[in-house]
Amino acid sequence: MQMLETIRRKIESAKDLHSVVKTMKALAAVNIHAYEKAVRAINFYYQNIEAGLQAVLKENTDILKTPVADDSDSIGIIVFGAQRGMAGNFNLPVVNKLDSWLKKKELKQRSALTACVIGDRISEPLQDIGILPSYNIDFPNFRYHLDGTIQNILLIVEEWRFQKKVSHIHLFYNRPTSGSSFRPGHSQLYPLNPDWLKELAGRQWTSRSIPLYTIPAGDLFNMIIRQYFYISLYKAFIESMASENASRLLAMRKAEQNIEEQLEELDAQFNKQRQDSITEELLDIVAGFEALSE
């Protein structure tokens, strides 16, 4: 009987865990759908920023002549990882992507990099490849609270650019692909890609005339660049959060399958043990009856 009680407790625990896993899987699926809608909305906003840059650059090509500093010893990186657990193998692709990129750069002292980490659970893997983050920022609890977090990161970016003289800033984060899959991505936040700016300046305007503006071109350009920084960080947040939920969904599917297999095994053990117990009791009854009959 003691063995039966032990197996019964294991079955109850597995069922409770199975319920938690199913709930986590459902929440991850719902979140992925919401983040996909947010990404589509961001893309429309991004197109408006491109249009603003295009309008300024078409009549002020001198902006493109601004020299770009060498990034050999003044790199800032912003790495997006997992904030919560049960997300499977989510951080490793980003860390491997960053590690490969740094090897191509042939940087000798990685600890000298200026690094900002988003999410608690990626700090330790980064330390394993020789990166010691200077800033650690938590993900907000809801995507609706992203604005304040992004403003804090923008303050860090401004500090890097104007106080620490960081010439290049790069983002590393996971990007959703299709279904519940994702892949690590990398983009340069600052400075803007000069080839992209030249392409914008040469792109045909969609209407008959370019919009008029009264703000000095340089000031307007800087204002749009700030919006570009904001939307780039916002997009990185949303895509990373979507990828984290995709990774969690995949992990929960595997966990659900493992739990169901374990439940089948426990049920089989329970039934066998119960049958053995019944058989043993019957044999005791028969043996007792035979003893009384003699």
CA-CA-CA-CA torsion for 245, 78, 151, 52, nearest 10 degrees? -90
Most confident of 64-68, 69-73, 116-120, 142-146: 116-120
In the chain, the percentage of residues whose pLDDT exceeds 70 is 86
Burial 121-131 (b: 16+ CB within 10 A, else e): bbbebbeeeeb
Residue 18 in any domain: the answer is no
Let me know if 178 is exposed, middle or buried by CB neighbors in 10 A (0-12, 13-18, 19+): exposed
pTM of this structure? 0.79
pLDDT of residue 157: 92
pLDDT higher at 111 or 293:
293
In the chain, the percentage of residues whose pLDDT exceeds 90 is 15
Quote the domain boundaries for residue 193: 25-251
For residue 68, is pLDDT > 60? no
| DSSP, res 134 | S
Sorted by sequence, the CB contacts under 8 Å of residue 2 that are 6+ apart come out as none
Q: State pLDDT tens for residues 101-127.
A: 988 877 656 656 789 999 878 888 888
Residue 265 in any domain: the answer is no
Tokens of 109: 């002292």
CATH code for position 122: 3.40.1380.10
pLDDT of residue 287: 66
State the total domains in the chain. Answer: 1
- Mapped onto helix, strand or coil, the DSSP state of residue 182 is strand
Most confident of 57-71, 214-228, 254-268: 214-228
Q: Is the CA virtual torsion 53, 144, 31, 93 positive or negative? A: positive
Q: State pLDDT tens for residues 214-229.
A: 888 888 888 999 999 9
Ramachandran angles phi, psi of 83, nearest 5°:
-95, -30
Give mean pLDDT, residues 125-146: 81
pLDDT of residue 154: 92
pLDDT of residue 67: 56
Half-sphere exposure of 283 (CA within 13 A, CB side): 6
Residue in the structure block whose two tokens are 């080839």: 195
Residue 264 in any domain: the answer is no
Residue 223 in any domain: the answer is yes
Residue 49 in any domain: the answer is yes
Cα(260)–Cα(158) distance, rounded to whole angstroms?
51
Q: Is the CA virtual torsion 276, 279, 284, 285 positive or negative? A: positive
Is-contact 17 260, C-beta < 8 A? no
pLDDT of residue 211: 80
Residue 41 in any domain: the answer is yes
Residue 32 in any domain: the answer is yes
For residue 8, is pLDDT > 80? no
pLDDT of residue 77: 93
Residue 238 in any domain: the answer is yes
First to last CA, the chain: 30
